């Protein structure tokens, strides 16, 4: 254990709290299964008390994976803890993860509690959790801005009450590597019983230091790192799993620590999360960005051609990266299609594969070459997207240099067919205005982005739409060979996600 770091993945919990990002149950189960194949040790499946939908998703994830620990998050409240346990109790390896703030800033302004009161709450909540489940994690929220002596006292209390993992989160992304390493070292030296539990860290990236802080923490003795695929999460995100894992692998001389991650599945997993959430990976993102293994400089190109080690510290193959290549065409059969999906990292049922295959055949009739990215878009668009309140049935539009743009749309709304037409400043505007009137949307369009999934004039176009309605935000995606149709699909997807966000039973709470 001393030479291995436990990878705790919170993509399905903290990652889903990225503004506008949300996943349906089918998508969450698919992600959990992919994380199991990737080799993560702990999957934080969600926050069951938040809503019945969140509870159901956690329960389904708990039943769908066997190797990883499945953790459910709960505030330091008895009801939260009981509900969380109900959601994960049937998991092969359940964990309860409870938290409370320890910084005076949070105690005074958020909790309105004294230090003594928080100590009592921490003790009672961990005791309750440990009476239900042998694997209990306790987190001291805003630990890096807490008084160290008091933080040590709270952690000691949690361990005495039954915590088996203690997490020291940098909740607001405030700390820096040297300081964080010192905090971890201080706690390991001063907290009684800490040598018998796992010390965990959970870093946010507000100053761009989440990975650096996590690396500093493991050098000081932390042995669990909480992270997300692509570094998604609250505000500026979390520790990026791919960056942290590859830093340990590439710089083994500096850390001498291992993980259980199958690094060749990193890139496919990254692309899966991007396709499902609609949150694109920036081109210059370390490890998984499109430019991560691109060499534009002539000097760099010359060096790489002579010897890759001159400018590549890791190979594209080591993280599962391959350039877009032709995999299938219109004459390809089901067997070839099924095998390609497996190689891409997806685990689909026979019914899902059949549905995807039919969509693939339709696409193959429209474009000559079908690429991996096209198949990923099909799976995200046609297989994983469950029936929603609003569904596009028909779309027609008219636009030109001397024509007033118009759109005619037919939607299914709660099972009822509705048809309407309207004008706009352009074809996309006309489509959005028409759909907006049909669903009586009050949302504001924050951004509209278009990109080609692959090359060529017949490529699938992918549209990403971001909407805001009061305190709620949503991200919608759509892909089609016709960019106007893709725009309508993205807009409707964002509207459906907005509806789901508004149905959350609890207001959004600050979490670790």
The string of pLDDT tens digits covering residues 247-275 is 999 999 999 999 999 999 999 899 889 88
**Parent domain of 407:** 390-502
Instruction: Tell me what the mean pLDDT of segment 328-338 comes to.
Output: 79
C-alpha closest to that of 57 among 44, 70, 45: 45
Q: Which helix (H) or strand (E) holds 247?
A: helix 241-250
Q: Going along 209-360, which residue ranges are E strands? A: 224-227, 326-328
R_g (Cα) of the chain, nearest Å: 24
pLDDT, tens digit (0-9, with 9 covering 90-100), for 369-400: 787 778 888 887 778 776 678 999 999 999 98
User: Residue 506 above 50 pLDDT?
Assistant: no
Domain endpoint, select from 383, 415, 431:
383
Same structural domain, 359 and 413: no
If one counts the domains in the chain, the total is 3
pLDDT value at residue 307: 59
Burial of 259 (0-12, 13-18, 19+ CB in 10 A): buried
pLDDT band of 507, cuts 50, 70, 90: very low
- pLDDT tens, 334-383? 888 888 888 777 778 888 899 999 988 888 888 777 877 788 888 877 78
Say if 446 falls within a structural domain: yes
Same domain? For 155 and 205 the reply is: yes
Q: What is the pTM of this model?
A: 0.85
Q: Which residues contact 336 (CB under 8 A, 6 or more apart)?
A: 328
Q: Could you count the other beta carbons within 10 Å of the beta carbon of residue 114?
A: 11
45 and 90 fall within a common domain: yes
If residue 437 lies in a helix (H) or strand (E), which one and from where to where? Answer: helix 427-439
Confidence band, pLDDT 50/70/90 cuts, at residue 304: very low
Cα(192)–Cα(195) distance, rounded to whole angstroms?
Answer: 8
pLDDT value for 405: 94
Listed residue (47, 120, 50, 60) closest to 90, CA to CA:
60
How confident is the model over 129-169, as pLDDT tens digits? 999 999 999 999 999 999 999 999 999 999 999 999 999 99
Q: Distance between alpha carbon 198 and the CA centroid of its chain, in Å?
A: 24
166: domain CATH number?
3.20.20.70
Q: Are residues 150 and 175 in the same domain?
A: yes
Task: State the average pLDDT over residues 175-185.
Answer: 98
Cβ proximity of 239 and 211 under 8 Å: yes
Do 217 and 87 lie in a common domain? yes
Q: Average per-residue pLDDT in the chain?
A: 90
Cα gap 278→299, rounded to integer Å:
36
Q: Are residues 252 and 364 in the same domain?
A: no
- 42-46 and 69-75 strand pairing: parallel
Domain of residue 455, CATH code: 3.30.160.270
């Amino acid at each position: 254990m001393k030479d291995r770091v436990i990878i705790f993945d919170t993509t399905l919990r903290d990652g889903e709290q990225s503004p506008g990002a949300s996943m349906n149950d089918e998508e969450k189960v698919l992600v959990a299964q992919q994380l199991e194949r990737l080799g993560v040790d702990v999957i934080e499946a969600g926050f069951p008390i938040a809503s019945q939908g969140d509870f159901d998703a956690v329960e389904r994830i708990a039943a769908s994976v066997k190797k990883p620990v499945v953790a459910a998050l709960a505030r330091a409240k008895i009801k939260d803890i009981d509900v969380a346990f109900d959601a994960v109790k049937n998991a092969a390896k359940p964990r309860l993860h409870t938290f409370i703030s320890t910084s005076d800033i949070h105690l005074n302004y958020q909790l309105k509690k004294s230090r003594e009161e928080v100590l009592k709450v921490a003790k009672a909540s961990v005791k309750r959790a440990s009476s239900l489940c042998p694997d209990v994690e306790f987190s001291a929220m805003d630990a890096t801005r807490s008084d160290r002596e008091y933080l040590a006292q709270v952690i000691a209390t949690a361990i005495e009450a039954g915590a088996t993992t203690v997490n020291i989160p940098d909740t607001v992304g405030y700390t820096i590597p040297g300081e964080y390493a010192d905090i971890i070292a201080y706690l390991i030296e001063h907290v009684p019983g800490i040598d018998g539990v796992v010390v965990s860290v959970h870093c946010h990236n507000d100053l761009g230091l989440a990975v650096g802080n996590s690396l500093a923490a493991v050098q000081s003795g932390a042995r669990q790192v909480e992270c997300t695929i692509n570094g998604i999460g609250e505000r500026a995100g979390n520790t990026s799993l791919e960056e942290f894992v590859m830093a340990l692998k590439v710089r083994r001389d500096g850390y001498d620590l291992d993980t259980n991650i199958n690094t060749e599945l990193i890139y496919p997993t990254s692309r899966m999360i991007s396709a499902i959430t609609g949150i694109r990976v920036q081109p210059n993102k370390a490890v998984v960005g499109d430019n991560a293994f691109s060499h534009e400089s002539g000097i760099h190109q010359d060096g790489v051609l002579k010897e890759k080690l001159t400018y590549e510290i890791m190979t594209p193959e080591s993280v599962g990266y391959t350039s877009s290549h032709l995999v299938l065409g219109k004459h390809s059969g089901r067997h070839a299609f099924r095998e390609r999906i497996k190689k891409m990292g997806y685990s689909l049922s026979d019914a899902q594969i059949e549905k995807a295959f039919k969509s693939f055949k339709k696409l193959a009739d429209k474009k000559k070459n079908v690429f991996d990215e096209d198949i990923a878009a099909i799976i995200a668009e046609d297989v994983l997207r469950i029936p929603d309140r609003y569904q596009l049935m028909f779309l027609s539009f008219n636009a030109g240099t001397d024509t007033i743009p118009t759109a005619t749309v037919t939607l299914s709304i709660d099972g009822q067919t509705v048809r309407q037409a309207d004008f706009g400043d352009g074809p996309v505007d006309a489509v959005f205005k028409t759909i907006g009137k049909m669903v009586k949307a009050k949302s504001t369009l924050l951004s509209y982005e278009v990109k080609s999934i692959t090359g060529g004039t017949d490529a699938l176009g992918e549209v990403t739409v971001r909407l805001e309605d009061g305190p709620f935000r949503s991200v919608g995606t759509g892909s089609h060979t016709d960019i106007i149709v893709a725009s309508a699909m993205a807009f409707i997807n964002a509207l459906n996600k907005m509806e789901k966000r508004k149905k959350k039973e609890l207001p959004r709470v600050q979490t670790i």
